[in-house]
Structures are given as C-alpha cells and as structure tokens.
Amino acid sequence: MRTGYLGKEHRGCLSGPPGELDTQFLARCRICAPCWIHLLSFTSRGSGSEGWAQPRGGSTSACRHGASCAYLAAALDSALSWACSERTGSRCRVLQCAGEENWVDSRTIYVGHKEPPLGAEAYIPQRYPDNRIVSSKYTFWNFIPKNLFEQFRRIANFYFLIIFLVQLIIDTPTSPVTSGLPLFFVITVTAIKQGYEDWLRHKADNAMNQCPVHFIQHGKLVRKQSRKLRVGDIVMVKEDETFPCDLIFLSSNRGDGTCHVTTASLDGESSHKTHYAVQDTKGFHTEEDIDALHATIECEQPQPDLYKFVGRINVYNDLSDPVVRPLGSENLLLRGATLKNTERIFGVAIYTGMETKMALNYQSKSQKRSAVEKSMNVFLIVYLCILISKALVNTILKYVWQSEPFRDEPWYNQKTEAERQRNLFLRAFTDFLAFMVLFNYIIPVSMYVTVEMQKFLGSYFITWDEDMFDEDTGEGPLVNTSDLNEELGQVEYIFTDKTGTLTENNMAFKECCVEGHVYVPHAICNGQVLPDSTGIDMIDSSPGVSSREREELFFRALCLCHTVQVKDEDHVDGPRKSPDSGKSCVYISSSPDEVALVEGVQRLGFTYLRLKDSYMEILNRDGDIERFELLEVLSFDSVRRRMSVIVRSTTGEIYLFCKGADSSIFPRVIEGKVDQIRSRVERNAVEGLRTLCVAYKRLVPEEYEGVCGLLQAAKVALQDREKKLAEAYEQIEKDLILLGATAVEDRLQEKAADTIEALQKAGIKVWVLTGDKMETAAATCYACRLFRRGTQLLELTTKRIEEQSLHDVLFELSKTVLRCSGSLTRDHFSGLSTDMHDYGLIIDGAALSLIMKPREDGSSANYRELFLDICRNCSAVLCCRMAPLQKAQIVKLIKFSKEHPITLAIGDGANDVSMILEAHVGIGVIGKEGRQAARNSDYAIPKFKHLKKMLLVHGHFYYIRISELVQYFFYKNVCFIFPQFLYQFFCGFSQQTLYDTAYLTLYNISFTSLPILLYSLMEQHVGVDMLKRDPSLYRDIAKNALLRWRVFIYWTFLGLFDALVFFFGAYFMFENTTVTSNGQMFGNWTFGTLVFTVMVFTVTLKLALDTHYWTWINHFVIWGSLLFYVIFSLLWGGIIWPFLSYQRMYYVFLHMLSCGPAWLGIILLITVSLLPDVLKKVLCRQLWPTATERTQRHAQHKALADSTPSRDGPLLKDLLPQPRRC
C-alpha cells in the first residue's frame, strides 16, 4: 500500500453528477478502465472518504496501465472536492494497483487506431504532431522581425542602431546616412545569406514531406504523402526505401522476423544492422493479417538518443489477458535509416515529424568561441572606452571654449531666445551624443561581416585539400563549424583516443590461449595467406583428454557469443569476407573485434554458419553441423565491458557463454587456470595486442527459469530499465568457469608516429585517453613514439595506490619530476628534452577518480594542482581504463587550469563524443565505429595523419590571417577617426566633419574592405612545404602571440602616428601657401579630401607591404581598390548629381589634383607614414629575427638561387606565371 497526498490542481475536472468524468481530463490523465471503475465505485459511495479509499470489489489486479494510478490520486481528489467541498484539505490514502511503478512520462499508441477489446484499458485517443519535418528557421511572415531581432542581439549591431537613432533624433554633425547605410549593408547582407540558407531548408523539407508512403487502411495498401502520416498508422516500407518516421518493427518477409538496416544518414555507419520484429507479430506477412492486429504500445516520450528506447507492447488475442512483450532499440526503426536486403517490412508509427529521433538531433551543439574572438571583443571594449573619452573631452573643451561670450555667440551665428534658455546639462548631454556620433567610426562595424566571410570562405580550403583526402575510404575532411578555424593554430594540448584513432581498428586474429595452451592459426606461410588452412600450431604442449573438452567448448563459445550476421551476398555495404574460400559467407558486425574472432576461430576448425529461427548453426572441425537454440543475449555495454549469450544444445544442456575484458571477467571466475591465462594476457598486452577473456557456466532448468524471470521483469520495466537490466546481468554473470583468452592485433595507422613526433616538435603536448588496459596502451604509445626509448615512465595506478597512499604517491612523483625541472632544458626545435630527464606518466581511471574525488575537508584542489604540476613536466601522458565521462573530466581539468591552454580532442567512436564536445576544438575521425564522433565534432578527418597538416599548415595560416585582419581593422579606423578628433581643436569644437558624407560611408564598405578580405583568405607568409618540414614554426604563433597587448598597442600607436602625419602634414602644407596657379586657396573640403586621400593610399600600401604571397588576384584587388577610389572621387565631384540638394564636393577633388604641390604632398606624406613600420621590420628582422622570419629569409635566398637561369635555357614550367612570395 502507498500513502499519497492528493493535490488541488485537478479539482473541478469533474463535470456533471457522480460517475460522469470529463473526457478531456481522462485523456490528460490516461486513466485505464479498471482505475476508472475504481473511481466510479468510490464516487458512488458519497463522502465516506476517511481512511482508505477502497474501490468496490476490492480487486485491483486487472490494472495494467502503468501511468493510471499515478494520476488516479488526482482524479480521486477531484471527486472528493466535488462530493465533500467542505473538506478540501483532507488527506486520502489510495491503494496502489498491481503493476504500478514510479512512472516516467509516457505515451500510449493504439496500433492501427483500433480500440482495445472490451474489458481492457479505456480507449482515450491522444493528439500527436503530424509527420511534417520543419528544419527551417523562418516563415514568410516572421522572417523580417525574427531576423532583425536576432541580428540586433549582437552588441555591435545594436550599438550602431543606437547611433543611427541618435542621428535621427538630435541635430548631429553627420547625416544619418553615414551610420545607417553601413548598418543597412551589414544587416542586408546577413539577412540575404540567412534567408537563402533557410529557403534551401524549406525546399528540402517540402521534398521530404511530400514523399509517397504506403500504409494499411481497412486491410488494403493505400498511398499518401509522408506529411499525412499519424501516430498509430501501420506503414509498409520496401527494400532501399527510407523509413518515413520512427516505427516499431512488426513483421517482414523473412521467416525469422528480422530486417537489415543502414543508418548512414543518422550516424554514418554503412554496415548493416539487424533489427528484430515483435515475437507475437513476426508471422503477420499480409495486409489482412496486419490489419487484424489488436495491440497497444506503451513507450517513453520522444528522446534524442539514437541508441536508447524503452517500451512494451500489449498484444490482445482470444485469451483474456494480453501478451506483454518488451520493446527496445532492436525493435525500433528510425526515420532516415534505409531498409537493406529485405523485401518489405511492416511497422507502426510511434514518433512522427519533429518528434522523431532524427529531428530531435537537429538541435545544434553549444557554441564555442575562439581565443581570437575573445581578444577581438576585449579590443572593442578598449576602443569603446577611447570613444567615450574622446566625446567627453571634446564636450568639456567645447564649453571651456565657449565660456567667453563672443565665442559662444559670434556675430554670424546669433542664438535664439529658446536656445539661450535651454538647460545647460541637457545641452551638454546632446553635445556629448553628437561627439559620440562624430567619432563612432572608430568602432569598425564592417569588421564583423569581414570576419564572418573570412571564416566561411576560408573553411573551404580544408575541404578542398586533396592531401587530406583518403583514397581507401573515399572520404575527405569535413568542416562542421567555421567559427574555430583560427583555433587550430593555437592548440597546446591534444587528447587522442587509441583504438580507431591511432590504430586502424582493423582487427586480425593472432592467437588464443585455452587452459594455458596457446593456439596460432596457420594463416601465413612465407608471406602468403593460406585461405584453406584449418590447422593448429600448438606452441605449448598438447592438451590432455580433459582439456580437449574445454578446448572445443572455448571454440564453440567464440562461435556463439557474438552479434555477427552472416550474409550470402558478396556485395553488401562494408563487406567482410570469410577467409574460407570454400564458403561464400560474409561476416558483418558493428564491432571489428567480433568479426576477427569469428574469422579466427574458423581457421581453427569451427565455422559459424548462420542464425535461423532462433537457432545458431556452427560447423565443427569434424564437418558436422551443430545447432544451438539462442535463448537470451546479454548485450555488451561500455560499463560492464562484457557480453553473454544463453544457449541450449540439442542434448538439452543450457550454457551461458561470456566474453569480455580481463578486468570484468577475472573477478567473476571461480574455476579455471586463472594464473596461466592471466600471464598470457599480460604478455600479449605488452606486445600491444587487444585481449578478451572467455568463460562459461552450465545452467540447470530451474536456474534458467529464474534467470528468465529476472530478465523479463527488467525488460518490461518502463523506468530505469537500463539500471534494472544491469542489476540482473550482475546477478546472472557470476560463478563462471574460465576457458581461455584471445589476442587480436590492431595495427597502427599509417604515419601516426610521424604525426605525433611533428606535433611534439611544434610544442604541443599529446595525451592518449583509452579504455584499454595499461600494458596494451603503453605498447601502442611506444609504437607511435609518444614514449621513447629514453622516456622514464611514472605510474599513478590503482595497484601502486594500494601499496602506498594517494598522498604519498603524488608527492613522490612530484619530487621526481620537479627535482630535475630546473635542469630540464628543452631543445627549441624538437620540443624534447636534451638530457635523459624525459618523463612519461601513466594513470588509470580508478586513480583519476581518487584525484578528482573531494577530500574529507571538502576540497580536492590540492591533489588536482599537484597532479597538474606532475603532468606539466611530463613529455607525454597515457590515461588507460578511462570511461567516456572520465575522458571529458581530464579535458576539462586541463582546459580550466591556471594557464587556460587551448585543448583539442580527437576520437572516432561514440565513447569519444563527451571529450570532443568538452575540448576547445573537437575533431572526429571518420572511422569504423560509426560517425557519432564525426557528427558531434567541429571538424572531421579520414585519418589521424591528416591532423598534422590541419594544425601545422591550415591552423597556422588561419591564425596569421585573421590576426592581421583584426589588428588591421583597428589600425585603419584609428587612422580614419583620429584626424577628425584633431580637427575639432581647429574648428572651435563645433562638431564639424573633416570628411565628406560619402567618404564617411564608403571608407569601410568599399575603399578598404576587399584588400584585407583577400589577404585574410590567401596570405601565406611561409610556404606549405616549409611549415610541414619545420613544425617548430608553430611555436611562433602559440599562446595568441599576434593578438597580445604589446602587438595591439603597437598597431594602435602606429595608427596614431599615421593620423598625426596625415593631419599636420596637410595642415602645415596649407598654412601659408596659396597653392593654385590662379591664386585660389584650398578650402575646408579640399583639406579633408587631401587627408582622406593620403589615408586611403597609406593603409592600402601598408597591407601591400605586409603581403608575402602575391598572385594576380592580390594585384587586381589592391591596385583596383586605389583606382576605384580615384575614379569615384572624380565622378562624385565632377558631375552635378540631380538627387543631391547641395553638392559641397563639386570640383574639389579635381581642384586638389590640379596643382603640383598637392601631388608632392601626397607622395611625401605616404612615404613618411610608412617609413617607421618599414624601419621597425628591417631592424627586428636583422637583430631579433623569429624562427618564421629566418625561414622566410632562407626561402627568399633559395628562390633567388632557383631563379638564376641555367646555360641550357629555361624550362617550360619556369615560363609559366607563378605566385611571387616576398
């Protein structure tokens, strides 16, 4: 019995006299029929509600609706509040119906929309969304307001909107067009880009929603559009068709009720996956049979996890009670998956439209921000403070200047009476806003657009890179986000998985150990594979008669304990052919280990044939076929690290075969030659082989019945099913007898060792995080040169902590590494120690848990900091026996350490997703464990070796380019606005503009935008080959070197110096000179135009001087921009434009260029402006050259030597135009 306090939220739900319930309330509460009867029987008793609310009849066993009783209390409370309104606060205790459990939110689906038979649960239809997929973000009606709202959430856009509104409201020195037009341009370009992308999404959605679908209606096959599907419809899908929604698999044309599916569009796995029909419906092969089905499905509400599903189906037949079957992920067919090698299947829709798992996975990952973007935001704040300071200083100086009457009201500008009586503080605030408007161009609004375009267009250089294309798999690199391109050039720590990332995940069976005897198949002879060989090489002495039975039992276990599927076809997705040429079997599995084991045991004489009608068939070494009935499969999971099968032989004996990691098998073993097998496992692990242990136990019928009941109770649970299954597995998989162990080789990936060596030379620390045992992982680390011959290994493992306390071990390791830290010198080129003090640390998952666990005083910071100090002084770290969550914990620990280094995580499997999402940059390897890692990563590459070019070349270039872009934008805007600030001292702080409105508007949009955009896309300050050859060049840009405060201040002061030269150079040239031949003097607009002309040429030529990689595109854009400025100025001032009310620039530019001194002044001022930067570069290159500058000088000398013509004359390739590198 259960005591519950009835809530008040459902009071008033009853409408009508006792016994009549509001159907909407019932639909919301999902009250089943027996509970409805309980409620009616209770309400018919009137107000006798004290004590137990006992329903009439007293029987509650008929209630099978798991959710009903969870809501029954609310319904009873409603009845009580109607019948006994004066006792609304009373408590009631309700009997708990049989089968009731702590319920999670669920749904009930009526298969074929058919009402359950009378006496079963009530038929309460529920409303679900249709099957329309909507991946678009906007509609025709909300695009403009929604897009504007999103764009103005950006601080820069909102800031310029405020400036524009200020210009509209008050009298400002510049036209609102000067701020409005650039803002309009930025908003429009972004809106067009987002609108086009959304239109493409609308187009794709319509194509998907209008696909034809076949479903069953009144026993016939009907065709309609996909968007019209509803939950409960029975759908028929044919071979090579995709599933239109999430379906529960009812039946197929196969007799065993299976179908094969590929999920490439969901997780990228091209291999076939086997799904199983519901046991009681797999015999329904025709439309009439399916239409006669009466069943309801109870399942969880939609969840985005592709690999998890919990539900149960109630099948009603002639019997009084329905048959209840559990439903799991093996019964669920996901939308987007494709049916393969199966003629047709029937399924019932349970999740449709935006509730399908595919649609729920559309949601984007958390946004990552690069270090460059953070620096850019800080610089913007600095410039905003400068802007406010300028406006404040000018406002104060204006009123100081106007403190004398004749300056406040000159004779030509008398104030009105209203202006004289205006509040002083209001006038000062208005003037402050006017100065803010005048100087607001110091904040570069177009920088955001340029940065976005640079990142978006620049990301294509990775996808276009042919060197990163893998011919074997036909895969190339993928860019899932372009926001982190430059972060690839700032990586300090790399966390990599081992299996499938450093290794090929291409398993080859090497040997097995049974009862202490080692067996190696005769697979290779004189370098050639012998496919028909089934002999056995007995390395140790032959086993006795008693061991022969264990040996054959071991081989049978390998043939039976797996999830491998056998295909007769030779051409399937991801085929794995049997090495036995006499058979046409093709083994397919999601795990390469299982295929390797089945193929290996075939060479030892036992061949797995097929699974048919729940019977597994194997061919023994005598040529006889043995049949075993598959009773149960205890699936593998990463926590248990083992799997089991329960089978029954033809003689009636029941076996449980279990295989898994040695750490999960040995503790559950009570018999067997544990010591011999353990020593062989450890030896194989040292050699870098992957090992698995195999055990078994016999089950008597009574014991098997108990196992079945335990598993059935866990399988039909709708809440905490995984937890209950894990508890059941723990009870079943114990008291085992150890049979033996296997060894499988996973070869190292091509050039993995060279890649790690190059990354270490670049100053990047590489950590390996793996779930493998320590010996196997350490052998792999030696093979890939993470650990070297002279590396002294330090162990922080559970075994050592058991001998000493964690505190003692940490302090001992700390003394070891810190004692030599003072003398530990690092070679600048190699990044490795020049003496023998080169340390490598090995830590396991259990030790990490102790380090991360809070201490008794509530703090774990001391242990963590000590651990980090040890790691910092080690050249490499190996973390073994790591759970997926622990991998993420390690990344997070380093990520938030006091240095805040940039981290990169790379892996290929679903167990690597957590650390990929946690790291600053996540890279997925498109491997054989599916594409979960690639889908959740920022970038994806086919092989680990491609990481070298991605970081050392692409990352280097991206960072160099965007750093120059950011600094250049601030520099050219300082050059642009500081002369305007100086000009206020010569115009009485009257807010007079120095430049024309057109120049103010187009400076950042047209005159100076394209050269820096092209530079940020194509600049190569060092050749690609040189970057790959000399990884140490990566160190020159480490730790955000080009965006530090010292560099930022240099660019700012360079802009200030150039602005002073522009303004005062032009000022002194104009001061006492009548420069035209007819005696005319230069006026205000001519002065401003001269300053603006010198500025445009200077900032453009400054970029030209910084360019090292010249192509015809660079020449066209840089010189074309200058030519465009000249042509625009000639047209703007040389034509009378009818749409302008006044034209103050008429003939100004032509007038300026008509005199020789102006030309001379322009050339002289440009030269003086550029001279300090040129001198600084020359002196620094000669006196304090960086590694990059030394490499540039070497490349220039080499280019000069190569350009010397030979006596035989030039080659054809030398006559072709080539890019010039300066």
Position of tokens 């896309």?
Answer: 1017
Tokens coding 789: 């011959």
Bridge partners, residue 714, by sequence: none
* Count, residues in the chain: 1222
Nearest to 502 by CA among 879, 832, 756: 756
Structure tokens at 215: 């479903």
DSSP code per residue over 573-617: SS--B-S-TT---EEE-S-HHHHHHHHHHHHTT-EEEEEETTEEE
Helix and strand numbers (H, E) in the chain are 42, 42
Q: At what angle do helices 1187-1203 and 1156-1183 cross, to 10 degrees?
A: 110
**Cβ-contact 785, 817 below 8 angstroms:** no
Between helix 861-872 and helix 806-819 the angle, nearest 10°, is: 30
Residue of 497, 838, 912, 938 with catalytic role: 497
Closest by Cα among 701, 705, 710 to 729? 710
Q: Are 676 and 547 in contact (CB under 8 A)?
A: no
- Residue 570: φ, ψ to 5°: -90, -20
Q: 943 near 925, Cβ under 8 Å? A: yes
> Structure tokens of 977?
């606005």
Contact 12, 55 (CB under 8 A): no
Range 458-471 burial, b when 16+ CB lie within 10 A, else e: bbebbeebeebebe
CA distance 963 to 9: 59
Give the residue from 1107, 1103, 1104 showing the smallest Cα distance to 1222: 1107
DSSP per-residue string spanning 1040-1070: GGGGSHHHHHHHHHHHHHHHHHHHHHHHHHH
Cα–Cα distance for residue pair 378/356, rounded to 1 Å: 42
In Å, how far from its chain's centre is CA 789?
37
Distances (CA, A) of 430 to 161, 169, 407, 434, 768: 17, 10, 19, 6, 62
Report the chain's terminal Cα–Cα distance, integer Å.
Answer: 86
Q: Contact, 765 vs 494, CB < 8 A?
A: yes
Please confirm, yes or no, whether 497 is among the known catalytic residues. Answer: yes
Spatial contact of 241 and 339, defined as CB atoms under 8 Å apart: yes
Q: What sign does the dihedral 463-468-474-479 (CA atoms) show?
A: negative
DSSP assignment of 688-726: T-EEEEEEEEEE-HHHHHHHHHHHHHHHT-SSSHHHHHH
Residue indicated by tokens 């019928």: 701
The DSSP H or E segment spanning 864 is helix 861-872
Query: What is the DSSP pairing of strand 93-94 with strand 52-53?
Result: parallel
Alpha-carbon gap, residue 855 to 961, rounded angstroms: 47
Q: What angle do CA 738, 740, 745 make, to 5 degrees?
A: 140
Beta carbons of 777 and 498 less than 8 angstroms apart: yes
User: Which of 207-215's residues contact partners 24+ apart within 8 Å by CB, and which partners?
Assistant: 208/133, 209/131, 209/132, 209/133, 211/244, 213/244, 214/238
So which residues are the catalytic ones? 497
